[in-house]
């Protein structure tokens, strides 16, 4: 479970990180400026600002399918009602991170901190020369015209969270109605849920008219082992439903032993082996609300453990995301 860290603690950790990589040093300045505005004072720590260069060299066109951009808040203020307040992690820091670890494409997932305001990801996609796509936040008040504009702006789907800390499950009738409205856009739904919920959700998921992506390996608890019922449900669903995709992300959320998160590897490996054409890799940078803050270089170095052969790694890093997120080659 995410550890709650008070603001002073968060800021102390942030300043501890500042001795690192100069390419990211400016993030500290933006964080300090942001901290002066009480409205946006961070309630969680930011990422490790000194990602080490990974040993593993990812293929060209490797895609980080799950990452976020926060701020600058002066330009992209967080929603008035939000479950947490992250330190700014703006586009220049996002680009520096990807350059450092060898990522050329990204899918920016709009965080719950932005409510239904998708400008921060739309602007980044517009400036990316086709290198970024996005997953937005939508609700029933949006018109079909507004949804079409999001699709034209590079979004391939929308996200629903079922996590109590982020506001709990969506209104499922509204969910069903929205799914029908996004289907003609060629979108999928991105689902942030715990695999234990699958017991109840599987019939609904199998009946969906669109593909669905389950984030962060269904947030299984690595200490409960590969035979835990939620993980078995997830594997079975992935094996039999061609609409089901799983993000091989968030080992720091699955791990109970901490860095370098090797206790999460068997879960990733099993998912990849079960459906090598429907798994996606990502960093989840800047790692909001994690129990252990990872170094993104370490995360990249887990990839060869998830997918030991080169063909499968290419599917995971390049070909699967290109297909689901409609990158133009
Ligand atoms: Zn995330």
The model scores a pTM over 0.85: yes
Listed in sequence order, the DSSP H helices in 80-213 are 91-101, 119-126, 144-152, 172-182, 198-206
pLDDT digits (tens, 9 = 90+) for 255-268: 999 999 999 999 99
Residue 126: predicted pLDDT: 98
Q: What is the mean pLDDT of residues 94-116?
A: 97
List the beta bridge partners of residue 64: 106
In angstroms, what is the span from residue 287 Cα to ligand 1's centroid? 6
Ligand 1 centroid from CA 106, angstroms: 13
- Determine which one of 221, 284, 296, 298 is catalytic: 284
- The Å distance, Cα 15 to ligand 1 centre, comes to 23
Say which CATH architecture domain 7-324 belongs to: Alpha-Beta Barrel (3.20)
Strand order in the sheet with 188-192: 63-67, 105-109, 132-136, 155-161, 188-192, 212-214, 244-248, 279-281
Per DSSP, helices labelled H in 275-326 are 296-306, 310-314, 320-324
Closest alpha carbon to 242 in 206, 270, 267? 206
Give distance in angstroms: CA of 176 to centre of ligand 1: 23
The dihedral sign for the CA sequence 163, 168, 171, 174? negative
Residue-wise pLDDT tens digits, 50-85: 999 999 999 999 999 999 999 999 999 999 999 999
Measured in Å, residue 302 CA sits from the centre of ligand 1 at 18
Average pLDDT of every residue of the chain: 90
Q: Tens digit of pLDDT for each residue in 207-237?
A: 999 999 999 999 999 999 999 999 999 999 9
CA of 66 to the centre of ligand 1 (A): 6
Distance (Å) from CA 286 to ligand 1 centroid = 8
Q: Which two tokens stand for residue 94?
A: 């996002």
The pLDDT of residue 169: 87
On the question of pLDDT at 3 being above 70, the answer is: no
Of 325, 320, 323, nearest in space to 307 by CA = 320
- What is the mean predicted confidence (pLDDT) over 176-191? 97
Q: Are 132 and 107 in contact (CB under 8 A)?
A: yes
Residue 215 is a catalytic residue: no
pLDDT of residue 26: 43
pLDDT at 167: 79
CA of 291 to the centre of ligand 1 (A): 13
Q: Say what percent of the chain tops pLDDT 90.
A: 84
Segment 7-42, tens digit of pLDDT = 334 433 443 333 334 444 445 555 555 655 788 999
């Amino acid at each position: 479970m995410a550890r709650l860290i008070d603001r002073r603690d968060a800021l102390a950790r942030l300043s501890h990180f500042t001795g690192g990589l100069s390419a990211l040093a400016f993030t500290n300045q933006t964080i300090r400026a942001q901290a002066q505005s009480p409205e946006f004072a961070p309630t969680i720590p930011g990422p490790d600002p000194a990602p080490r260069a990974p040993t593993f060299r990812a293929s060209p066109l490797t895609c980080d399918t799950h990452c976020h951009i926060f701020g600058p808040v002066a330009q992209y203020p967080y929603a008035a009602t939000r479950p947490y307040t992250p330190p700014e992690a703006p586009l220049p820091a996002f680009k520096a991170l990807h350059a450092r670890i060898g990522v050329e494409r990204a899918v920016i997932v709009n965080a719950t901190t932005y409510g239904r305001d998708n400008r921060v990801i739309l602007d980044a996609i517009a400036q990316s020369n086709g290198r970024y796509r996005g997953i937005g936040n939508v609700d029933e008040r949006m018109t079909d015209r507004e949804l079409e504009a999001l699709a034209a702006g590079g979004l391939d789907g929308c996200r629903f969270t079922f996590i109590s800390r982020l506001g709990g499950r969506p209104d499922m009738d509204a969910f069903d109605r929205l799914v029908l409205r996004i289907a003609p856009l060629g979108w999928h739904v991105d689902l942030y849920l715990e695999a234990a919920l699958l017991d109840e959700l599987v019939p609904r998921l199998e009946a969906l008219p669109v593909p669905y992506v389950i984030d962060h390996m269904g947030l299984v608890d690595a200490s409960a082992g590969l035979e835990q019922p939620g993980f078995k449900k997830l594997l079975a669903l992935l094996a039999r439903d061609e609409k089901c995709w799983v993000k091989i992300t968030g080992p720091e959320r699955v791990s109970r032993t901490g860095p370098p998160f090797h206790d999460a590897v068997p879960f990733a490996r099993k998912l990849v082996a079960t459906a090598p054409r429907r798994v996606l890799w990502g960093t989840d940078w800047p790692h909001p609300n994690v129990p252990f803050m990872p170094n993104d270089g370490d995360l990249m170095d887990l990839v060869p453990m998830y997918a030991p052969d080169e063909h499968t790694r290419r599917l995971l890093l390049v070909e699967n995301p290109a297909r689901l997120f409609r990158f133009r080659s």
